[in-house]
Amino acid sequence: MFKRLLGLDPNPNQNVVDDLYEQIVAAARQPALYADWQVPDTPLGRFEMISLMLFLVLRRLRGEQGAAEAISQDLVDTFFREVEHSIRELGIGDAGVPKRMKKLARMFYGRTKSYGDALDERDDAALAEALRRNVQPAADNWPQTQQLAHYAAQTAQALASQPLDALTKGVIAFPDAAPRGEAA
């Protein structure tokens, strides 16, 4: 364990984690999310979408043992490393990084709880409200939130049906985020 922390023992799952994370980011960067559903194409908007897609993958891996459990933790670690890198690129100095990271970690875990509770209860309205509150907090009315909530629920179902063996090999398939009524 200490060797791994010091970078002397390579992570056996690193290639799998890199592949999965790349696919999570690709899913979060689908043009329909920003152009059609009005997710802000800003650092915070992208954080929201990567958080959502990561949450959906972690939800699929939840409760699995062995490699899946380790991959889940490695995905979270990768996410927060990328978040830290991004806030440094935005010009946040060394002194401000820990404070921002704590805030972003609270945001991420708060979102995973809200989204998870709504999906567990099959409460579309609660999921839509959680997404509106997090993605478009200044908007009293965001009609596209229903589409995003539907997509999140659809993605959770699609990921649940994907074989664990494929996921632990770095293969995952997200549905296309096409506007409702259009071919996905």
Phi, psi angles (nearest 5°) of residue 107: -60, -50
Phi, psi angles (nearest 5°) of residue 169: -105, 5
Distance in angstroms between the alpha carbons of the first and the last residue of the chain:
44
pTM, to two decimals: 0.88
Name the nearest CA neighbour of 20 among 74, 62, 87.
74
Residue 177 near residue 30 (C-beta atoms within 8 A): yes
Phi, psi angles (nearest 5°) of residue 115: -65, -40
Per-residue pLDDT of the chain (184 residues; tens, 9 = 90+): 555 556 555 677 899 999 999 999 999 999 999 999 999 999 999 999 999 999 999 999 998 888 899 999 999 999 999 988 887 777 777 777 778 879 889 999 999 999 999 999 999 999 999 999 999 998 888 999 999 999 999 999 999 999 999 999 999 999 999 865 554 4
